[in-house]
Amino acid sequence: MGAVVGTLTMQTKSRRLSRDKADDDLEMTVVCHRPEGLDQMEAQTNFSKRELQVLYRGFKNECPSGVVSEETFKQIYSKFFPHGDASAYAHYLFNAFDTGHTGSIKFEDFVTALSILLRGSVTEKLQWTFNLYDINRDGYINKEEMTDIVRAIYDMMGKYTYPVLKTDAPKQHVDAFFQKMDKNRDGVVTLDEFILSCQEDENIMRSLQLFENVI
């Protein structure tokens, strides 16, 4: 969860500058995509109008067109991991944000996901994370999918981690994941198994609360 939320909010916080009253409305000129109105987004998310304005300014600064392609998303995400290769993990994260499978992320997509990750209930956060791991969207996490995600995370962290990671670290991580979460030992992890196992883990539950007040 930390890898997902932390990097997505660092840049937004850095852009929280004071502006004139005239700038308090969303700046929606000269964009290819016009976001939904503030009232509608406020009703659909856990953010206030002011928070949505701050988020939109950061989003528009990085993406003047109003939409983010996967390539642009990877470029932005890679800035936070200069010593590793974040492209694979960014690909999976992009797909999790692109819920409509349109090949791009609109502001509405971005803020809806961020609302869940920062302000959602425990169940909502875990459902979102499960969907990130469920690469083929079949409702299960299998070992191949989990291995792909774990390898992407290790690649993203780079070779300068301490202590130095062993070559078989991803496999060990995946084996431990399934030992803990595959309750009925059928080789896949369901959403119910995932949520139950996470709720039983104090470290995971604490990590879900780390970014609740980040904005």
pLDDT in tens, 46-69: 999 999 999 999 999 888 998 999
Q: Looking at residue 108, what is its pLDDT?
A: 94
3-state secondary structure the chain: CHHHHHHHHHHHHHCCCCCCHHHCCCCCCCCCCCCCCHHHHHHHCCCCHHHHHHHHHHHHHHCCCCEEEHHHHHHHHHCCCCCCCCHHHHHHHHHHHCCCCCCEEEHHHHHHHHHHHHHCCHHHHHHHHHHHHCCCCCCEEEHHHHHHHHHHHHHHHCCCCCCCCCCCHHHHHHHHHHHHHCCCCCCEEEHHHHHHHHHCCHHHHHHCCCCCCCC
Residue 105's φ and ψ, nearest 5 degrees, are: -115, 120
Instruction: Please report, for the chain, the start and end positions of each structural domain, with discontinuous segments joined by +.
Output: 47-119, 122-214
Give the distance, in angstroms, between the CA of residue 45 and the centroid of all CA atoms in the same chain.
Answer: 16
Which residues lie closer than 8 Å to 19 by C-beta, 6 or more apart? none
Which amino acid, residue 11?
Answer: Q
Q: Provide CATH code, domain 47-119.
A: 1.10.238.10
Ranges of the chain whose pLDDT falls below 70 = 1-36, 159-166, 211-215
Determine the topology of domain 122-214 in CATH: Recoverin; domain 1 (1.10.238)
Q: Looking at residue 20, what is its pLDDT?
A: 42
Residue 48's φ and ψ, nearest 5 degrees, are: -80, 170
Q: Looking at residue 202, what is its pLDDT?
A: 93
Q: Are 97 and 105 in contact (CB under 8 A)?
A: yes
47-119 and 122-214: same fold?
A: yes
Q: Looking at residue 152, what is its pLDDT?
A: 94
Q: Looking at residue 4, what is its pLDDT?
A: 52
